[in-house]
Chain A
Amino acid sequence: MKKQLHQDVFIGFICLAISLLVFALNTNLPSDAAMMPRLLGGMLTILSILIIYHGLRKSKLPVEEQGPKALTVDALKIPLITWGFVVLYYILFHVAGYFVATGIMIIALMRFMKRTSWPVIIAIDAVYLLVMYFAFVRMLNVSVDNFGMLGRLL
């Protein structure tokens, strides 16, 4: 019967690190301002220890009965690459402005998400940008077009 530490043990230790960070960030505050964060830090610490304890109890079970693992390469790879696209989009938004960044991101992410029909991709991209421009910039006066490289050029 194969046994191994349940992933909740590792998750619990990460939670404990977060709890200690909450304490650490509030060490130099006056007692009034620090009371609530310290109290919450204490509660987070107790809960982290409970998560570790439950993880250790689950570790006694055979691997097959421990349930599916949440943090595997297979479970994380695609979502993290997708998040990478989101981060790149954020950087591009900063540099080039919303409409340029969005035009590129929609095409790139649709291709990444296995959409192959170029006419449909381009049609969705164009319609989205037009609708958002008229709804947000023209009707709601959101100055998203004044941002980034394109904004500076305009």
Chain B
Amino acid sequence: MVDFGNILAGFQTLLSLESIIALIAGTVGGMVIGALPGFSAAMGVSLLIPITYGMGPVAALSMLTAMYTSAIYGGSITAILCHTPGTPASAATAIDGFQLTKQGRGMEAMGVATLGSAVGGTFSAIAMLLIAPALGAFSLKFSVLEYFFLSVFGLTVIASLAGDSVIKGLFSGILGLALGCVGLDAISGFPRMTMGVIQLEDGINFVPALIGLFSISQVMSLAWDVYHGKKGSVIEDEENLKKSRSLPPFKEMKTLFPTMARCSIIGTIVGIVPAAGAGVSSWICYSMGKKFSKHPEKFGHGALEGVASCETGNNAATGGALIPLITLGLPGSSVAAILLGGMMIHGLTPGAAMFTKHANTTYAIMIGFLIANILMGIVGLFAARYIAHVSAVPMGYLGPVITALCFLGTFAIRNNLFDVGVMVVFGLLGFILKRCGFAAPPMILGMVLSDICENNWRRAVILANAKGGMLSYFLSRPISIVLALLIVVSLFSPMIMSYVDKKSKENVTK
């Protein structure tokens, strides 16, 4: 049942100058970050988290989620106009998008990508408003054992974030869990793995860690690119683009609406699945678009349907990924894992409380996400061609500015220089991990979920001992049994998703 009262209250909460500025900044900032090749949505969100410290939770989370959806869209700008996907989620867009640019229809492709992204994102935001409260109400039935299983369920996502090597990804995730144990033990109060360093008794703050892992390591990679002659992207046939129209003729445009509707639904569902994400969603939608198209032969040679399919799909997945994140604390993608940390920093713990104690804030964030998608569409239609120019900014200018921002952002968290040192160390760690084939997102996920997992398990053991042992306690809780089964299924889901992704890519190349 849709709670219009809460939606209205959330909308009123969102109507503050701080939130509106945050929404605009997140949307435009996301487009810029997304348009920069090599800069991912994860990096943008991680850089933004410290800046949100001084803000209220509504403005902060609205800005972060706006940055998330907008960065996924921003990746399409350079994919279409420069044949350089800004983010992995826009790789499929480059196939038909750049062909259209070469045919002098780049701005029309951009218009379709903008509209598709806005439609997909808006649909997923509405789905979130409808589905999330029901899931949140269900989570009221959860106790410590269910929360333990949920955190383990979240950890099973590690395998899907692992990158090329599942073993190395698991190592990275479990190392993250171990790093999350550093500090005073929450129950016994004993210092663990602090090596006598007093500052570590508070634990390793994961925000400096993630800024180091994603941003400082990226600056190190950028320096390598500079010395190996890698330059910024160039917009193809810029003069011609200035003259072309922003959207295709309505007759052609209306044939794309069924594709956008279909991909909005598919993208949202794929986003909810923990093992998937915007990247997988865009390939699945592209493949489905080709299958349902009346002109599949045009795919790969400049089909507007192709651009509409993947761009609607990848943005629909962003809202989908936020549904299990807000309601159950299950991050559906690496950016969602970082957002989970952002929520906790602002005192928001995913679960039933999001729809009871923090209902106003939660609805305001969800409505903010919906508005961000509409805003992204409006700004994108007017500004995409100008934003594309940021991809040509030399990396030699960007690297030092990003380094300075990382230092300032990390220091601003607690006015603490030790945090800055942690970020510097994690920067080196992130670079070495990347070079050696270890993915960084599982480590962040491990650090975020470590406390939740351990503390709920230990509390569950205490409760179980009082109720006749763990097995009988476990068997008396049907939700726990279902969650345990879901964990088993989830362990196999990366294989299933990888198969689906592979098949989708094969269909595309046929």
Contact = CB atoms under 8 A, between A and B. Distances in A.
Interface of A: 7-8, 11, 15, 18, 22, 25-26, 29-30, 32-34, 36-37, 40-41, 43-44, 47-48, 50-51, 54, 70-71, 75-76, 78-83, 85-87, 89-90, 93-94, 98, 102, 105-106, 109-110, 112-115, 120, 124, 128, 132, 136, 140-144, 147
B394 to A, nearest CB: 7
Contacts of A15: 171
B427 A44 contact: no
A118 to B, nearest CB: 13
26 contacts: A25-B192, A25-B195, A26-B192, A32-B185, A36-B177, A37-B178, A40-B178, A48-B171, A51-B167, A54-B167, A70-B435, A78-B227, A83-B216, A89-B407, A93-B417, A94-B417, A98-B411, A105-B404, A113-B399, A113-B400, A114-B227, A114-B396, A128-B404, A132-B404, A140-B412, A147-B411
Sorted from nearest, which 4 A-B pairs have the closest CB atoms? Answer: A113-B396, A79-B220, A109-B400, A82-B223
B54 interface: yes
Contacts, number: 160
B458 A32 contact: yes
B396 to A, nearest CB: 4
B397 to A, nearest CB: 6
Nearest to A139: B54
Interface residues of B, number: 55
A33 B431 contact: no
B408 interface: yes
Contact of B190 (A29, A41, A75, A80): A29
A130 to B, nearest CB: 13
Contacts of A51: 167-168, 171
Contacts of B53: 140
Contacts of A114: 226-227, 396
B420 interface: yes
A114 B185 CA distance: 48
Given A30-B188, A82-B223, A142-B411, A115 B177 contact: no
Given A79-B224, A141-B54, A41 B411 contact: no
Contacts of B394: 115
B428 interface: yes
Interface string B333-365: 000000000000000000000000000000000
